[in-house]
């Protein structure tokens, strides 16, 4: 059964796994920067708890919209659009011949990590006895 500590740990792992992907694929870095890794892990930690912050698990039936299948689908659509936006910003930066990552690229990447961690929270909750409501 997923609990608060499990969601925290899953969020951290999510951030640690996604950080090198972002650094290598989007920013074309061959090595992993520790600062980026720590920020992504921290963002994942927070993102992994967001549904329970918005809908505290005070009773077994606490799951409403922010623990629903619809919310998960909305997150998936948002993640797809956010990924397009990040890739577009990277492409624009490269066309300008700049090699330094912009603050907006970095912020969007952190938001992406946080939303993935929220989605992971929902996936984990979907495997519990109560599962997820549709809405």
Radius of gyration of the chain (CA): 16
Mean pLDDT of 69-89: 95
Query: By C-alpha distance, which of 110, 94, 105 is closest to 46?
Result: 110
* pTM attached to this predicted model: 0.91
Handedness of CA 25, 26, 27, 28 (dihedral sign): positive
Report whether pLDDT(35) > 80: yes
Looking at residue 1, what is its pLDDT? 52
Mean pLDDT of 54-73: 92
Residues of the chain above pLDDT 70, percent: 99
Please state, rounded to an integer, the average pLDDT across all residues of the chain: 91
């Amino acid at each position: 059964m997923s609990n608060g500590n499990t969601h925290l740990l899953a969020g951290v792992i999510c951030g640690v796994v996604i950080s090198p992907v972002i650094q290598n694929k989007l920013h074309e870095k061959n090595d992993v920067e520790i600062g980026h890794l720590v920020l992504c892990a921290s963002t994942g930690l927070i993102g992994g708890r967001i549904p329970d912050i918005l809908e505290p698990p005070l009773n077994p039936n606490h799951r409403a919209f922010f623990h629903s299948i619809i919310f998960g689908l909305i997150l998936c659509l948002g993640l797809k659009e956010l990924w397009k936006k990040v890739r577009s910003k990277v492409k624009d930066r490269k066309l300008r011949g700049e090699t330094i990552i912009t603050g907006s690229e970095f912020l969007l990447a952190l938001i992406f990590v946080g939303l993935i961690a929220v989605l992971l929270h929902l996936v984990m909750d979907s495997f519990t006895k109560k599962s997820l409501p549709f809405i």
